[in-house]
Amino acid sequence: MSEETPSAEKPAEEAPPANPLAEAFAKALPKVALETTQGAIDLLISVKPGDLHNVLSTAKRNSDLSFDFLRNLCGVDYEDEGFEVVYHLYSYAHGYNVTIKCRLGRDNPKVDTASDIWRGADWHEREARDMFGIVFEGHPNLVPLLLPDDMLDHFPLRKDNPLAPLEEWQGELLGGEIPNAGYIPPGSGFNAGGGEAKEESA
Amino acid sequence: MIEHELETIDLNINIGPQHPATHGVFRMVLTVDGEKVVEVVPHIGYMHRGAEKLSEHMDYRQAIGYQDRTEYLAQFNAEMCYVQAVEKLSGLVPPERAEYIRVILAELNRISSHFMFLGAFGTDLGVFGTAFTYAFRERENVLDLFEEVSGDRLMYAYMRPGGVAWDVPRNFKERVRWVCQQALIGANDLDRLLTDNEIFIMRTRGIGVLSIEDAIDFGATGPVLRASGLKHDLRRAEPYSIYDRFDFEIPVGRHGDSYDRYLVRLAEVRESVRIVLQAVEQMPDEGPWLPDRVPPRLRPAAGEVYMRCENPRGEYGIYLVSKGATQPYRLRIRSSSFCNLSALREMTIGHYIADAVTILGSIDIVLCEVDR
């Protein structure tokens, strides 16, 4: 089925355990610390924030890699472990897939923009700034895209901004006397803190 | 005699957010020089409902409904992508029959979505009524079938991790064959109405050209990319589900203009009919539609997956991060319309104001999917 990556079938006669794509990355970027693991479908590579722009631009420009298509770019909030920016790349020339991840600090998350490498990164980065407050340095126009223009200090997809208290806050804003604002019916699958809901005995 | 020096000022024209040509709530500010557009600033976000955030607070199965509401013209395709992402992490394997049901419904959904485009695109160009009614006559047949299967005309929530919610009706195969027959008739009608129509060609040929390099750079996918000339379809390049079992062509354009985008979608209707007919032929008559044991609450293994599917509008991706809980830790929807729309500026500059409407229509955006 579709479980295997297209990269796995290309140079099949090489040494089986090492991933040829991971080797190609190591060859193209000998001085950079890359941490590679195999994900459910794609190869995952973790890099440090300082190396990120170099890794991404090499991934696009190196002829052995040529990742010309930025599939997806998004932020993830790992609470105490900081934020992560995730780049899903695809190479039309070789049919390779790779996921490049970069962990950022909890306060003042900053990373270099990728919009000079792929123009498609422009809107994705604006969205990640809207939702997580990750600042992409060097971005030409980092203004809110999906959120209102003046909503610069509120990052809805952060985990410290849970859903139910937000409703409560909206209830207060609407007059404070809405009786059931923020009430979570038991067993509804919602819980204020994110994370684990209470298990039913089913 | 008084001499006046003529002064040139930038004139901004605001289109939307409530405007019939924007296919939803979308606003663009055009800066014009005479009738020519010199700058486009799109404004999105009017439909942002936080589907990603809401899904993080729900059981894995509850979040299926949000896929329908995100991609409201290709709901089965969106559901299929989401449930496959969950399956990849939870290790559920759908039975053979469920795979066929999914593929048939997803391809029929592609047909109905493309009919929606063909009708609405005619309306954008000013041939209101004619193309629209023909397209909607056929779309209605498909929606009737979906209602028989799922019980709902638009918000199906029919697929489940591991298969589908319940079995299809007994006369499913005959009904699908009939719907396919009607879809081909409808495609031929629209073909005769629009393809050689002089006005239609003059309004679309050479309008909104997107080169193949720009299309790749902006991350445009689906018919927009294929109209620019790149023969790339995820169903062929990275076959998911059981798409490797079917024989179909990938239609491509040559010029990357609005007309080619129309032609690609019209051809895709016929190719989808081919896939559906093959799938109906191969589909087992009897069999389960869910695996024997599905846990009452899904707890996929900790990990992450980026599942992508070829939707009518391009690559639809679900990036799912699980921490082993009953709710997704992070669910990111990679929207195809969002990326295709980001190339709007590139396509529109240099054309007339009236063409901006054509170009926007030819991208075939779903605003709920753009904003999520």
Quickly list DSSP for B192-213.
Answer: IIIIT-HHHHHHHTTSS---HH
Instruction: For residue range A95-135, list pLDDT tens digits in order.
Output: 888 899 998 888 888 898 988 899 889 899 999 988 888 99
Question: What residues have CB less than 8 Å from A40, skipping those under 6 apart?
Answer: B88, B89, B303, B304, B305
Give the A window 101-130 contacts with B, CB below 8 Å: 118-120, 122-123
For the cut 90, the answer to whether the pLDDT of residue A146 exceeds it is no
CB distance A85 to A73 below 8 Å:
yes
pLDDT at B291: 84
Q: Residue range B361-372: average pLDDT?
A: 87
Q: Closest-CA residue in chain B for A60? A: B217
Token duo for residue B31: 């800066």
H or E segment at A111? strand A110-112
Inter-chain residue contact B305 with A39, CB threshold 8 Å: yes
pLDDT at B326: 84
Position B339, amino acid: C
For the cut 60, the answer to whether the pLDDT of residue A52 exceeds it is yes
- Compare CB distances from B342 to A44, A120, A156 and report the shortest one's residue: A120
- Compare CB distances from A88 to B59, B306, B342 and report the shortest one's residue: B306
SS3 A143: coil
Confidence of residue A179 (pLDDT cuts 50, 70, 90): low
For the cut 70, the answer to whether the pLDDT of residue B19 exceeds it is yes
Could you give phi then psi for residue B220, rounded to 5 degrees?
Answer: -70, 140
CA B204 to each of CA A140, B55, B135, B230: distance values in angstroms, whole numbers, following the listed order: 32, 40, 19, 20
Inter-chain residue contact A119 with B218, CB threshold 8 Å: yes
Rounded distance between C-alpha atoms, residue B348 and residue B95, angstroms: 47
Strands A97-104 and A43-47: parallel
Q: What percent of chain A has pLDDT over 70?
A: 71
Inter-chain residue contact A88 with B319, CB threshold 8 Å: yes
Residues from chain A contacting residue B322 (CB–CB below 8 Å): none
**Distance, CA of B139 to chain centre:** 14
Task: Tell me whether B294 touches chain A (CB under 8 Å).
Answer: no
Residues in chain B: 372
**What's the whole-number average pLDDT of chain A?**
76
Rounded distance between C-alpha atoms, residue B183 and residue B177, angstroms: 10
Inter-chain residue contact A39 with B315, CB threshold 8 Å: no
pLDDT at A183: 60
b/e map B217-255, b = 16+ CB within 10 Å: bbbbbbbbbbbbebebbbbeebbbbbbeebebebbbbeb
> Nearest CA to B259 among B231, B227, B233?
B227
pLDDT at B111: 93
pLDDT at A162: 66
Confidence of residue A39 (pLDDT cuts 50, 70, 90): confident
Query: What are the contacts of B235-238 at 24+ separation with CB within 8 A?
Result: B235/B310, B237/A6, B237/A95, B238/A2, B238/A6, B238/A95, B238/A97, B238/B308
Rounded distance between C-alpha atoms, residue A57 and residue A115, angstroms: 11
CB distance B227 to B264 below 8 Å:
yes
Task: Tell me whether B330 touches chain A (CB under 8 Å).
Answer: yes
> Nearest CA to B319 among B310, B311, B307, B327?
B307
Residue B82 Rama label (left phi>0; alpha psi -120 to 50; beta): alpha
Task: Tell me whether B265 touches chain A (CB under 8 Å).
Answer: no
Instruction: For residue range B270-323, list pLDDT tens digits in order.
Output: 999 999 999 999 988 888 888 888 887 888 888 889 999 999 998 999 999 988
CB distance A105 to A82 below 8 Å:
yes
Inter-chain residue contact A71 with B306, CB threshold 8 Å: yes
Q: What sign has the CA pseudo-torsion A127, A130, A133, A137? A: positive
Confidence of residue A33 (pLDDT cuts 50, 70, 90): confident
Confidence of residue B56 (pLDDT cuts 50, 70, 90): confident
Task: Tell me whether B365 touches chain A (CB under 8 Å).
Answer: no
Task: Tell me whether A88 touches chain B (CB under 8 Å).
Answer: yes
**Helices in A46-178 by DSSP H: which ranges?**
52-61, 121-132, 163-173
- Compare CB distances from B339 to A2, A97, A120 and report the shortest one's residue: A120
Give the residue carrying structure tokens 């997704």. Answer: B328
- CA count, 13 A, side-chain hemisphere, B197: 20
First to last CA, chain A: 33
> Nearest CA to B30 among B285, B368, B360, B369?
B360
For the cut 70, the answer to whether the pLDDT of residue A202 exceeds it is no
Instruction: For residue range B206-258, list pLDDT tens digits in order.
Output: 888 889 988 999 989 999 999 998 889 988 888 888 998 998 999 998 888 89
Distance from CA of A27 to the nearest CA of B (A): 25
- Compare CB distances from A69 to B54, B216, B338 and report the shortest one's residue: B216
Rounded distance between C-alpha atoms, residue B288 and residue B164, angstroms: 10
Distance from CA of B366 to the nearest CA of A (A): 15
b/e map B30-46, b = 16+ CB within 10 Å: bebeeeebeebebebbb
Q: What sign has the CA pseudo-torsion B277, B282, B286, B288? A: negative
pLDDT at A10: 43
